[in-house]
Structure 1
Amino acid sequence: MMRRRVVITGMGVITPLGHTVAELFASQLEGRTAVGPLTRFDARTMPTTFASEVKGFELDKYVDDRGRYAHCGVNTQFAIGATKDALADAGLLDEGTGDRSRIGVYLGSGEGAEDFPALINSIALATGPSGKADPATFQREILQVLSRDREAEVEMHTTCGHLAHLFALDGPNFACQTACAASSQAIGEAAELIRAGDADVIAAGGSHSMLHPLGITGFNRLTALSQRNESPRTASRPFDLTRDGFVIGEGGGIVVLEELEHARKRGATIYAEVTGYGTTADAYRMTDPHPQGKGAIRAMADALTDAKLKPTDIGYINAHGTSTQANDSAETAAIKAVFGEYAYQLPVSSSKSMLGHLIAAAGVVELVISVMALRKGVLPPTINLETPDPECDLDYIPNVAREKRVDHVLSNSFGFGGQNIALVVSRFRD
């Protein structure tokens, strides 16, 4: 039996660079950054005092009964907003459209703890003599507080339930927790389910916010966050020699994946086709990628094989590109291993240079950007790339967007623990 084809018929995002796909992509092409001082809580005593925050989000715009979801963390609230916009974009928001038992939800996410008093108050417990918070002391104190006082609602799987109930999505329902690769893996697994005939439509993607003291200090302890507090707008600088860590962000995104014939019968707009999916593990360390990108190499190669493409068919790579020393050099090495000499002709850029790292939501938002690049024939830049790292010597589209028509785009997502996901989206051909 011929494998069923999977196309994208709707997209929705809630990001620090905009709450619509058009606004997000325009900001990317302009090289606009969303990074600035943290306002979610008082971070002045912390090693990192800035982030990429979603501003101006109002749940009331997306639900009639706000009180029903007001207790939820922003993880769930961002997912609601992105899902509603994506379903509306696809023409599937009305409960009377389509067989709802064949429409599902696959979502990548993480913990939903945020903004509750125990976290905020414990900052005082962790402030040392210098007036700066010590991440190790902070984590010790906060875990003691949490063991006594369970005020946090952990929303790793309940977000999927909220979406299914709110939008009458009665089909397969799955919560994916593979860290920074989660939303990309949710998309890949959802595409496989549709290909196999077990669903016709799946709202797939992710949402996440770790902009709380536990999230910030956790990454500080790993020395993963930039501490460029004097210049936060230039702190996210993937592939630059002076990079010192990633900028943490938040947000959500959903793409509506649909079986091609199902979409045709509805007369749906087809934005792109999901043609390739690769998933591997480094099996190396929990916090570091394999130095030569062992797992990333296999994920990209598997995605190309799945898409039945040659390396030279790919016209653009949207890199994971976190702005950490380890990730950027390992990803560069992996791209060279997969693409050979062609790697030096292949445009690559990092959306995180402007968005920051949206953790579990990063992959889906970057896939949306990839789809828009495919459709518009313009590739977004990597901003803040001022001093090239000799180890990172590919064409990273420095600082200015580039017009180029491409037919196939590869999007990379690599997560803590060594999870590697590569997705290929292609220009739809009837």
Structure 2
Amino acid sequence: MSPHRVVITGLGVTAANALSADKLAQALLNRRSGIRRAAPFDIEGRTYSAGVVDLPGETPDNGLDRVSKLALHAAEQALRDSGLEAQGNWREVAGVMLGTSRGPALSLEQVIRSGGDEDARRRHFGEVPFSSIARNVADRFGLGGILSTVTMACVSSSLAMGRALDEIRQGRASVMLAGGADALTLLSFSGFSVLRAMTPTVCRPFDHRRNGMVLGEGAGILVLEELNHARQRGARIHAELCGWGTAGDAHHPTSPHPEGRGLQQAMTLALRQAGLTTEQIDFVNLHGTGTPANDPAECQALRGVFGARAAALPVNSLKPYFGHTLGASGALELIGSVLGMARDFLPPTLNCEELDPKCDVDVVRGEGRAQRIDTLMSTKSAFGGANVALVTRRFPETGRAAR
């Protein structure tokens, strides 16, 4: 039996520059970043820029960790966008597959700092397990299907989407909420500060002056559905999620393999599962952290898979719009890419002005690019050498994506 096809019927966004998918689309069209000078944590007296989310009506302490609040906002947006709320008995079988890097680290920090305050410890302790994020989303919306939290550093939400895709393809689920969330925490801020991975200026992916990342927080959640399930209820379909791949570098705890070995394998596997060739990919959304080692390694991986075509294959990074959201980055950046595909628009890579010769690929810069995209790939990489690639195509199938 052929695998079931999987489509995207709902998009939910919580980001520094947008609190819905429609607002994110406008931010990308208008090149509007949500990154601002901020000092959410005092790290050796230094001040950094960050992508800080202003959640509407947020209560400072209602028992939920901030990462769950970010995820719940995005999940509510995704479900509303999908139109499922007006349908029948879908909740009892709908699953939740969410990725996170730092998880509820703020609650853990609160527990550690609570000292002898037993009330404070009890209030935050239930949020400390990473499983609390998916649990809180499932509980809020009454979702009784597959329930899982995935964590693998910065590819966490990409892994979650890939695994949710597999669950539906193999007939184990018809509806999945998939994506991820991460909040700004002292753990991440201090850790990347010690590694000197954060820029004191601006994030400039692929630019020869790049000197580090900007951290952000947020959540991206998609409603994934089996195609016939979506058709039967007359759902609006944003795109088809048609393949994914993951592979490791086996190289270094923090640095990527110089030739992007694992990323090449992940892209190749994603193409194979999607049943597509490199000629059918119109655009690639890269990880693009703006760090010295990441960007050239990604470009090298791109050349390894696409050969000479890599020089003319449009690519971008969306991190200058809302920061590196760690475990949420895969979902947020896939959503941003799908929104661009629907509008025949390639968002530019902000702050990339003088291309590094080591990144001699077709980086979309400046005003962005009006271009029809039928099939796109989104790639993410992580500390520890993890890599994920996801392939998405326009729906209904048209042009090259239909072949």
Could you state the TM-score of these two structures normalised by the residue count of structure 2?
Answer: 0.91
Q: 1:276 & 1:219 partners in 2: Cα distance?
A: 32
Paired AA for residue 172 in structure 1: I
Contact 2:203 2:320 in 1 (8 A): yes
Q: Post-superposition shift, 1:311?
A: 0.6
Relative to structure 1, the CA distance from residue 118 to residue 169 in structure 2 (aligned partners, 3 Å threshold; closer, same or farther) is closer
What secondary structure, in the 3-state scheme, does the structure 1 residue paired with 2:96 have? Answer: strand
Q: 1:333 & 1:119 partners in 2: Cα distance?
A: 44
- What do the CA deviations read for 1:192-241 (whole angstroms, capped 9, x no partner)? 000000000000000101x233321111111211122xxxxxx1100011
Q: Which runs of 5+ in 1 are unaligned?
A: 60-65, 123-148, 229-234
Paired AA for residue 57 in structure 2: E
1:129 corresponds to: none
1:12 corresponds to: 12
Task: Identify which of 189, 192, 200 aligns with 1:216.
Answer: 189
- Higher mean alpha-carbon deviation, 418-427 vs 279-288, is at 279-288
Task: Identify which of 79, 85, 92 aligns with 1:101.
Answer: 92
Contact 1:79 1:252 in 2 (8 A): yes
- Give matches, 1:39-58, under 5 Å: 39-42=39-42, 45-58=44-57
- Give matches, 1:318-357, under 5 Å: 318-357=285-324
Q: Quick check: 1:167 aligned with 2:141?
A: yes
Relative to structure 1, the CA distance from residue 37 to residue 311 in structure 2 (aligned partners, 3 Å threshold; closer, same or farther) is same
Q: 1:119 & 1:72 partners in 2: Cα distance?
A: 13
What secondary structure, in the 3-state scheme, does the structure 2 residue paired with 1:164 have? Answer: helix
1:141 corresponds to: none
- What do the CA deviations read for 1:305-358 (whole angstroms, capped 9, x no partner)? 111111111111111001011110100000011111111111100001222101
Contact 1:236 1:354 in 2 (8 A): no
Question: C-alpha root-mean-square deviation of aligned residues, in Å?
Answer: 2.2
Q: Which runs of 5+ in 2 are unaligned?
A: 115-120, 398-403
Q: Quick check: 1:89 aligned with 2:81?
A: yes
- What do the CA deviations read for 1:42-84 (whole angstroms, capped 9, x no partner)? 55x444522111124334xxxxxx79x8221211001111101
- What do the CA deviations read for 1:388-409 (whole angstroms, capped 9, x no partner)? 1110111111122100001101
Q: Quick check: 1:378 aligned with 2:345?
A: yes
Q: Post-superposition shift, 1:93?
A: 2.8
Q: 1:104 & 1:357 partners in 2: Cα distance?
A: 27
- Give matches, 1:34-183, under 5 Å: 34-42=34-42, 45-59=44-58, 70-93=62-85, 97-109=88-100, 110-114=102-106, 153-183=127-157
Relative to structure 1, the CA distance from residue 254 to residue 405 in structure 2 (aligned partners, 3 Å threshold; closer, same or farther) is same
Q: 2:185 & 2:281 partners in 1: Cα distance?
A: 38
Relative to structure 1, the CA distance from residue 353 to residue 264 in structure 2 (aligned partners, 3 Å threshold; closer, same or farther) is same
1:292 corresponds to: 259
Contact 2:82 2:223 in 1 (8 A): yes
Q: 1:191 & 1:278 partners in 2: Cα distance?
A: 11
Identity within the alignment, %? 40
What secondary structure, in the 3-state scheme, does the structure 2 residue paired with 1:410 have? Answer: strand
Q: 1:89 & 1:347 partners in 2: Cα distance?
A: 29
1:259 corresponds to: 226
Q: 1:246 & 1:219 partners in 2: Cα distance?
A: 9
- Higher mean alpha-carbon deviation, 311-320 vs 96-105, is at 96-105
Q: Post-superposition shift, 1:88?
A: 1.2
Could you state the TM-score of these two structures normalised by the residue count of structure 1?
Answer: 0.86
Contact 1:316 1:346 in 2 (8 A): yes
- What do the CA deviations read for 1:233-260 (whole angstroms, capped 9, x no partner)? xx11000111111100000011000000
Paired AA for residue 15 in structure 2: T
Q: 2:129 & 2:64 partners in 1: Cα distance?
A: 8
Relative to structure 1, the CA distance from residue 401 to residue 326 in structure 2 (aligned partners, 3 Å threshold; closer, same or farther) is same
- Higher mean alpha-carbon deviation, 27-36 vs 322-331, is at 27-36
1:145 corresponds to: none
Q: Post-superposition shift, 1:41?
A: 4.2
Contact 1:30 1:401 in 2 (8 A): no
Task: Identify which of 302, 306, 314 aligns with 2:269.
Answer: 302
Q: Quick check: 1:427 aligned with 2:394?
A: yes
Q: 2:166 & 2:389 partners in 1: Cα distance?
A: 14
What secondary structure, in the 3-state scheme, does the structure 1 residue paired with 2:84 have? Answer: coil
- Higher mean alpha-carbon deviation, 382-391 vs 169-178, is at 382-391
1:225 corresponds to: 198
Counting matched residue pairs gives: 388
Contact 2:37 2:47 in 1 (8 A): no
Q: Post-superposition shift, 1:413?
A: 1.0
Q: 1:168 & 1:189 partners in 2: Cα distance?
A: 21
1:142 corresponds to: none
2:117 corresponds to: none
